[in-house]
Structure 1
Amino acid sequence: MVDGVFTLASPSPPPTTGINTAGLADFLRTFFAPLFLAVVSVVAIFFLFTREITRFVQFIILAIAIGVIFYVPNIIEVTAKAIAGALGIK
């Protein structure tokens, strides 16, 4: 009984490593890609059936831009480095 009390009273060692997020971006891309494509398809079809060609073109350009930002690997890091370099920040 005394050994059990000492075992419960001793603190457990803290974890040596943090959360492993190596595959998190890939998981999120594979999870949200079909959802993103489905939403884009439904909205694009709506604009085509209502014959709003200008809004359809604007939406497609916006959807392509969002797709490139989120689904091209490292585009956010490359863009941030380019903006920082243009501003003279190292």
Structure 2
Amino acid sequence: MMHSVKAAVILAAKDDPNTQQLADWLRNIFGPLFLVIIGIVALFFLFTREITRFIQFIVLSIVIAVVFYYPGIITSVAKGIVQALGVEDTG
């Protein structure tokens, strides 16, 4: 009895959830919504002639979009900063 339970646990552990498909699905849903909201807010800033806030908003939107669409870039930037500072990598 105990061996069959261990085998079931081992088989269940190999069937991990596919988080990449979930991430792609969320990007497909929230990506266009994100772009529409950015467009509406950007037009609002342009029509009210708040150019400084418009530029700040666009820069912040670009940073958020890069992190949203390319989440692996955070680790790449962090590794580059660590190498540039000469900090030892212990792990």
**Fold-level similarity (TM above 0.5):** yes
- Give the whole-Å Cα distance in 1 for the aligned partners of 2:88 and 2:20: 28
* Higher helix proportion (structure 1 or 2): 2
Match of 2:77 in 1: 79
1:72–1:32: structure 2 CA closer, same or farther, 3 Å change rule?
same
Instruction: Give the superposed CA RMSD.
Output: 2.4
1:11–1:22: structure 2 CA closer, same or farther, 3 Å change rule?
same
- Give the whole-Å Cα distance in 1 for the aligned partners of 2:44 and 2:20: 38
> What percentage of aligned pairs have identical amino acids?
53
Match of 1:19 in 2: 17
TM superposition score normalised by structure 2: 0.71
- Give the whole-Å Cα distance in 2 for the aligned partners of 1:24 and 1:80: 25
Q: How does 1:1-80 map to 2 (within 5 A)?
A: 13-14=8-9, 15-17=12-14, 18-72=16-70, 74-80=72-78
Larger Rg computed on CA atoms: 1
The answer for unaligned runs of 5 or more in structure 1 is 1-9
Q: CA deviation at 1:84?
A: 3.0
The runs of at least 4 aligned residues of structure 1 exceeding 4 Å deviation read: none
The answer for unaligned runs of 5 or more in structure 2 is none
**Count of residue pairs brought into register by the alignment:** 82
Query: What whole-Å deviation, never above 9, does each CA across 1:14-53 have from its counterpart, x for those lacking one?
Result: 2132222132222222121111101101111111111111
Match of 1:4 in 2: none
